[in-house]
Amino acid sequence: MEARAIARGVKISARKTRLVVDLVRGKSVERALEMLQFTGKAAAKVVQKTILSAMHNLGEKSDHPVEPADIQIKRIFVDEGRTMYRIRPRAQGRAFRIRKRSSHITVIVNHEASEKKLK
């Protein structure tokens, strides 16, 4: 059984968020949350909340309680979101463009015990 959660329009660039996502890809949810708790990046908090949301979505689907150690991160990826363009005034009437980037985080988790029973 699997569940997913998507965080859209996160105000952190996809490039910075991918650094954090690469740390937890393929890990169990319990291990991933421990790693994110001690990661010093701003994106770690948002990724942690998205993983927790996917875990709770899986808990709502199943009939019995699910332990975080039994839940595996099946897929986790980051896509680019909307880019907001701003202007920075420069010398002699020029204007430089500022790009404020955002990202979409997608987490898909599955329950290991249910996968073992099916095989």
Question: CA torsion angle for 26, 41, 38, 53 (degrees, to 10)?
Answer: -50
Structure tokens at 21: 């996502």
Ordered by start, the domain boundaries in the chain are: 2-118
Task: Look up the pTM and report it.
Answer: 0.87
CATH number of 2-118: 3.90.470.10
pLDDT for 116 equals 52
In the chain, which ranges are continuous DSSP H helix?
A: 14-24, 29-37, 43-61, 112-118
pLDDT in tens, 47-105: 999 999 999 999 888 777 788 888 999 999 999 999 999 999 999 999 999 999 999 99
Q: What is the mean pLDDT of residues 8-27?
A: 95
Spatial distance between the Cα atoms of 9 and 7, rounded to a whole number of angstroms? 7
